[in-house]
Homo-oligomer: A and B are copies of this chain.
């Protein structure tokens, strides 16, 4: 089973990396781009857990080291093999 955690900056936190990518895209002619936000996608392969256990363990991993709750939000998706 695999957990996919998407970590994004909270909406009111400035994202300079996203800004830089937005400027580059607009400069390349992609004028339809209104905003860019860049986050992390963390794929974690898990062994021997039920879906409910996996969800609760992944949440604890996020709270321990994967996410900074002051500036980041996260969501968890679980994909069964």
Contacts and interface: CB of A to CB of B under 8 A. Distances in A.
Interface of A: 6-8, 21, 24-25, 28, 30, 32-49, 57, 60-61, 64-66
A43 B8 CA distance: 9
Given A32-B49, A65-B25, A41 B43 contact: no
Given A25-B61, A38-B40, A33 B6 contact: no
B66 A21 contact: yes
Contact of A28 (B21, B36, B38, B65): B65
Given A30-B57, A30-B61, A39 B40 contact: yes
B36 A45 contact: yes
